[in-house]
Chains A and B, each alone.
Chain A
Amino acid sequence: MLPPAAIACEVREGRQCVRLSGHWTLAALPPSLAALEARLCELAATPVDWDLSGVARLDSAGALLLWRAWGRRWPEVVAVPEAHCLVLMRAESVPPPLPPVAGRRPPLLVAGRAALIVGSHLRDLVALAGQLLLDLVWLFANPRQLPLREFSATLYKSGARALPVTALVGFLIGVVVSYLSSLQLKLFGAEVFIVNILGMSIIRELGPVLVAVLVAGRSGSAMTAQIGVMRVTEEIDALATMGVSRSLRLVLPKVAALALAMPLLVVWCSAAGIVGGLVAANLQLDLSWGFFIETLPRVVPLPNLWIGLAKGLVFGLLIGLVACHFGLRVKPNTESLSTMTTSSVVSSITIVILADAVFAILTRNVGLPL
């Protein structure tokens, strides 16, 4: 057991003297240093001699404790064994704390900074999209460099593996929409219009948006995290030194695969939604299956399907682009990785909804039944 820190006051040759002894180390000092520090400060307030010759061990914490009690300067008379001189000199060379710079940023500055950040994101996004276009043009000249392996891997991971969850979600949403609508339609005796409502809403609107949200959460976050970790571990730099273009090898296959997989997923999810709606309508309204299938193509014109597919394509491009963009902006630390992954998902869902609104305006006269 270490002999603990001890302080003794005595009078030597007519002068007040403070004798320290024991272990003045972080491990041996008392759990709460406040009492000890207060006592030392109290002793140092009057001019006394200090005798450290009884101190067995003095570590940085002990030395700092003394040094701070002494007011960051040597006392007039002090006896220090040679072994403890160095550590006290190290404490001496610690610069005194600077007064904290008080300051709150004016709100205008905060707003301006936020606007600049948004601007830089937009600029980088446009630059990334432009780079992808250039890569595509270059690939036409050099088709052997086509990153097919990465493309098919992403297609499988983001497309094929997403089939079960998109089908489940689509089916359930179809059931819910159908059930709620049929309750209302019953009031007016307009049961047959359930086909119109389900067909239009799911094929044109719900299918694409649902898939986009699912894919942004599933694949967008994974892409951001993957590229981000490659930034953290300098793998992207390693690729660059091997002459591999990161946009060609990492970004393009992901964006292209999502652009292909999303329309297919949209068809799949919409189909599941229609089936779900059909089941619910059959149970709730006693609508026959044959009637439903027969009526659907009449009341939902074909252009609605094209709109749904086009939305899938555009949403896929946007999600892939946003995910890769945020991945490439990850700074080499874990905190930035998590922030960017969150931002990636939130931004891609927001952008998808914005794009959906634009679609709604542009196609307001297309595909409506006469």
Chain B
Amino acid sequence: MSAAPRPPEAERFPSPAEVAGGQPAAAPPVVDIRGVWTCFGGTVVHQDLDLVVRRGELLGLVGSSGSGKTTLLREVVGLLRPSRGEVRLFGLPILDADPDARREVRRRFGVLFQHGALFSALPVFDNIAFPLRELKRLDEAMIRDLVLMKMAMVELGPEMAGLMPAELSGGMVKRVALARALALEPELLVLDEPTAGLDPDRSENFVKLIRTLQRELDFTVIMVTHDLATLAGLASRVAALSDGRVVANGTLEEVMAVDHPFTRSFFASLRQPALCGSRR
């Protein structure tokens, strides 16, 4: 999108990166996983896995339980070092960059953990406000408005703000965690089973929310999901993980057409015309 020509008298408000003298660079892929091996003791989880996610893509990652999806996401966000191979985030090797660059990169993505990982000692409001306060750029009034806005986005009313994580239902935990992941308006959203535990209605609203936001803000999403409706509604590309490798990579239709034991069984229900018809 090209910006409209600016009249010369415009007051400019430079961004932090510009103030710091950041250099514009040719945009590298948002996530670049190259030849990654992961071993826990004797078990090999990933063998020579390659995966590239480009800007603006919504990648759905599927795989059977225990196939290493969560582990892969942990490597992407720099919580785990692969046994071999390299993961680059925004073109930076996140684990080997210098601490300042690392902190900068960590601001640019939001993570939704499989089990929420809310701070159990903080109420809902402070959980969502936490990353905003860490920025040290916003005043409390602004933080309050932002938090209430994020809560409304995930369909949580202001009356929920004071609840502790232990007082939430499973689906509410997911929604608070999503609101926290969205708090910093990240360029990359890493979601581990975002719709597990949500009712179909909420799942659909989640799909709508991410789509709208994606259109407005043009961020990138990597999402692990077992939910075919979410996958069909959201993913612009699907990667199937099996036996430690990406066995299929493409649009949903392309992946469904791949002849592999995993994809055959995973998409079996979608291929049955009766079920497919009733879902639509």
Residue of A nearest to B218 (CB): A57
Say yes or no: A4 contacts B13, CB within 8 Å: yes
Say yes or no: B120 contacts A27, CB within 8 Å: no
Say yes or no: B215 contacts A4, CB within 8 Å: no
Across the interface, which residues of A come within 8 angstroms of B16, CB to CB? 27, 30-31
What sequence of 0s and 1s flags, for each residue 1-44 of chain B, a beta carbon within 8 Å of any chain A beta carbon? 10110110111111111110010100000000000000000000
**Chain A's nearest CB lies how many Å from the CB of B188?**
12
Across the interface, which residues of B come within 8 angstroms of A2, CB to CB? 15, 17
What sequence of 0s and 1s flags, for each residue 139-182 of chain B, a beta carbon within 8 Å of any chain A beta carbon? 10110111011101100001000001110000000000000000
Residue of B nearest to A5 (CB): B13
B185 touches A (CB below 8 Å): yes
B84 touches A (CB below 8 Å): no
Please tell me which stretch of A59-67, A118-126, A143-151, A268-276 contacts chain B, meaning at least 4 of its Cβ atoms lie within 8 angstroms of it: A59-67
What sequence of 0s and 1s flags, for each residue 97-130 of chain B, a beta carbon within 8 Å of any chain A beta carbon? 0000000000110000000000111000000000
Total interface residues in chain A, CB < 8 Å: 55
Q: Which A residues contact B (CB, under 8 angstroms)?
A: 1-10, 19, 21-23, 25-36, 39, 53-54, 56-61, 64-65, 68, 83-84, 86-87, 90-91, 93-95, 97, 232, 331-336
Known: A84-B216, A97-B144, A334-B119. 8 other contacts (CB 8 A): A30-B16, A31-B19, A39-B11, A56-B1, A61-B185, A68-B141, A97-B145, A331-B164
B205 touches A (CB below 8 Å): no
Which residue of A7, A32, A65 contacts B11 across the interface (Cβ within 8 Å)? A7
Say yes or no: A68 contacts B13, CB within 8 Å: no
Across the interface, which residues of B come within 8 angstroms of A32, CB to CB? 137
B217 touches A (CB below 8 Å): yes
Residue of B nearest to A1 (CB): B24
Say yes or no: A33 contacts B138, CB within 8 Å: yes
Q: How far is the CA of A87 from the CA of B216 in the complex (A)?
A: 8
Which residue of B137, B152, B165 contacts A93 across the interface (Cβ within 8 Å)? B152
**Chain A's nearest CB lies how many Å from the CB of B277?**
32
Across the interface, which residues of A come within 8 angstroms of B13, CB to CB? 4-7, 29-30, 35-36
Say yes or no: A60 contacts B149, CB within 8 Å: yes
Across the interface, which residues of A come within 8 angstroms of B141, CB to CB? 68, 97
**Chain B's nearest CB lies how many Å from the CB of A80?**
12
Residue of A nearest to B2 (CB): A56
Interface residues on B, range: 35 or more
**Chain B's nearest CB lies how many Å from the CB of A295?**
58
Which residue of B7, B12, B120, B185 contacts A25 across the interface (Cβ within 8 Å)? B185
B212 touches A (CB below 8 Å): yes
Which residue of B14, B153, B164, B217 contacts A333 across the interface (Cβ within 8 Å)? B164
Q: How far is the CA of A35 from the CA of B13 in the complex (A)?
A: 9
Q: How far is the CA of A131 from the CA of B144 in the complex (A)?
A: 47
Residue of A nearest to B150 (CB): A60
24 pairs from A and B in contact (CB 8 Å cutoff) = A3-B3, A5-B12, A5-B15, A6-B12, A7-B13, A8-B7, A10-B7, A19-B10, A21-B3, A21-B6, A27-B16, A27-B17, A29-B15, A31-B137, A33-B139, A54-B6, A56-B3, A58-B216, A61-B138, A68-B142, A84-B216, A90-B149, A93-B149, A332-B120
Q: How far is the CA of A310 from the CA of B277 in the complex (A)?
A: 78
Say yes or no: A8 contacts B121, CB within 8 Å: no
Residue of B nearest to A63 (CB): B149
Q: How far is the CA of A86 from the CA of B18 in the complex (A)?
A: 28
Which residue of A54, A94, A335 contacts B3 across the interface (Cβ within 8 Å)? A54
Question: Knowing A4-B15, A9-B9 touch, does A334 contact B137 (C-beta < 8 A)?
Answer: no
B184 touches A (CB below 8 Å): yes
B75 touches A (CB below 8 Å): no
Question: Knowing A2-B15, A22-B3 touch, does A91 contact B121 (C-beta < 8 A)?
Answer: no
Say yes or no: B184 contacts A26, CB within 8 Å: yes
**Chain A's nearest CB lies how many Å from the CB of B236?**
19
**Chain B's nearest CB lies how many Å from the CB of A71?**
13
**Chain A's nearest CB lies how many Å from the CB of B267?**
33
Interface centre among B10, B135, B137, B184 (most CB of A within 10 A): B10
Across the interface, which residues of A come within 8 angstroms of B146, CB to CB? 60-61, 64
B86 touches A (CB below 8 Å): no
Say yes or no: A335 contacts B185, CB within 8 Å: no
Question: Knowing A21-B10, A29-B15, A332-B166 touch, does A64 contact B145 (C-beta < 8 A)?
Answer: yes
**Chain A's nearest CB lies how many Å from the CB of B41?**
24
Q: How far is the CA of A28 from the CA of B7 in the complex (A)?
A: 20
B193 touches A (CB below 8 Å): no
Say yes or no: A33 contacts B14, CB within 8 Å: no
B187 touches A (CB below 8 Å): yes
Q: How far is the CA of A7 from the CA of B12 in the complex (A)?
A: 7
**Chain B's nearest CB lies how many Å from the CB of A220?**
22
Residue of B nearest to A96 (CB): B145
**Chain B's nearest CB lies how many Å from the CB of A55?**
9
Q: How far is the CA of A54 from the CA of B2 in the complex (A)?
A: 10
**Chain B's nearest CB lies how many Å from the CB of A230?**
14
Residue of A nearest to B141 (CB): A97
Residue of A nearest to B219 (CB): A59
Across the interface, which residues of B come within 8 angstroms of A86, CB to CB? 212, 216
Across the interface, which residues of A come within 8 angstroms of B1, CB to CB? 56
Across the interface, which residues of A come within 8 angstroms of B119, CB to CB? 334
Residue of B nearest to A25 (CB): B185
Say yes or no: B149 contacts A91, CB within 8 Å: yes
Q: How far is the CA of A333 from the CA of B142 in the complex (A)?
A: 28
**Chain B's nearest CB lies how many Å from the CB of A43?**
10
